[in-house]
């Protein structure tokens, strides 16, 4: 069994649920080398998250964004952490709910996602950000 680890930077286009599967695949060429394994992605941020969900219909991403904005609204009087802007504390809450890791099986040099699954970068801040991910592969070449 072999290990591989690399860092990738995903530029986000501001708040929203962004499908980044192809970006991940294109920026981690080591995936191609593994017959069987696991890709673990760790997002090194507290105001964004990473998830796996619908990869075909973009309205799913729009609906998720709308739902999370209603579930965790900005400008609440009970927020104490407000000095980074009205979107910051809600971003931390959303990140806690969704999480900062995903694990995907690798089979014959490909990610083994379901037919309708893709990797999302869930950006919870309004401004554009560069988001850093540590990609770790463990498996057999």
Residue 139 lies in a domain: no
Residue showing tokens 């000095």: 83
| pTM recorded for the entire structure | 0.95
Mean pLDDT of the chain: 97
Phi first, then psi: what are they for 59, rounded to 5°? -70, -20
- Domain-embedded: residue 50: yes
Residue 12's pLDDT band (cuts 50, 70, 90): confident
Domain presence at residue 45: yes
| 94-118 pLDDT tens trace | 999 999 999 999 999 999 999 999 9
Structural domain including 128 reads: 15-134
**Residue at 5 is within a domain:** no
Per-residue model confidence as pLDDT tens digits over 53-76: 999 999 999 999 999 999 999 999
Q: Is residue 10 part of a domain?
A: no
| Alpha carbons 114 and 78: distance in angstroms, whole number | 41
Number of domains composing the chain: 1
- Inside any domain, residue 82: yes
Residue 43 covered by a domain: yes
Does a structural domain hold residue 3? no
Q: What is the pLDDT of residues 25-44, one digit of tens each?
A: 999 999 999 999 999 999 99
Q: Is the dihedral of CA 11, 13, 17, 22 positive or negative?
A: negative
Q: Which CATH number is 22's domain given? A: 2.60.120.460
């Amino acid at each position: 069994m072999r290990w591989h680890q690399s860092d990738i930077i995903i530029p986000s286009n501001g708040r929203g649920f962004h499908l980044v599967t192809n970006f991940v695949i294109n920026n981690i060429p080591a995936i191609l080398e593994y017959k069987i394994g696991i890709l673990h992605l760790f997002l090194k941020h507290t105001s964004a998250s990473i998830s796996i969900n619908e990869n075909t219909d973009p309205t799913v991403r729009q609906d998720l964004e709308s739902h999370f904005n209603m579930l965790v609204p900005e400008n609440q009087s009970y927020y104490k952490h407000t000095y980074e802007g009205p979107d910051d504390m809600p971003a931390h809450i959303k990140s806690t709910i969704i999480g900062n890791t995903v694990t995907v099986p690798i089979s014959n040099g490909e990610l083994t996602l379901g037919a309708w699954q893709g990797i999302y970068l869930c950006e919870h801040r309004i401004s554009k950000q560069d988001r850093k991910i540590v990609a770790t592969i463990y498996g057999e070449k």
